[in-house]
Amino acid sequence: MFPIPWYAVLFITIPQTVLIIQLGFLLFNLRIEWRETALASIFIGIITFFLLRLSIIPGAHTLILIFITTLMISWLSKVNVWYSLIAIMCGAMIIGVTENVITSLVLILISETVSDLSNNPWLNIAVFLPTLLLVAFIFFLLNRSKSVLYDLNPKGSSR
Does residue 148 contact residue 157 with C-beta atoms inside 8 Å?
yes
User: Which range of residues forms the domain containing residue 73?
Assistant: 6-145
Mean pLDDT of 86-115: 96
Task: Write down the pLDDT at residue 55.
Answer: 87
Is residue 154 a part of any domain in this protein?
A: no
Is residue 155 a part of any domain in this protein?
A: no
Is residue 1 a part of any domain in this protein?
A: no
Distance CA 42, CA 73 (A): 12
Is residue 22 a part of any domain in this protein?
A: yes
Element at 61 (helix H, strand E): helix 60-77
Give the percent of the chain with pLDDT over 90. Answer: 84
Does residue 77 contact residue 32 with C-beta atoms inside 8 Å?
yes
Does residue 30 contact residue 152 with C-beta atoms inside 8 Å?
yes
pLDDT at 156 > cutoff 80:
no
pLDDT at 150 > cutoff 70:
yes
Distance CA 22, CA 41 (A): 11
pLDDT at 158 > cutoff 60:
no
Is residue 64 a part of any domain in this protein?
A: yes
pLDDT tens figures, 59-72? 899 999 999 999 99
Is residue 152 a part of any domain in this protein?
A: no
Is residue 159 a part of any domain in this protein?
A: no
Domain count, the chain: 1
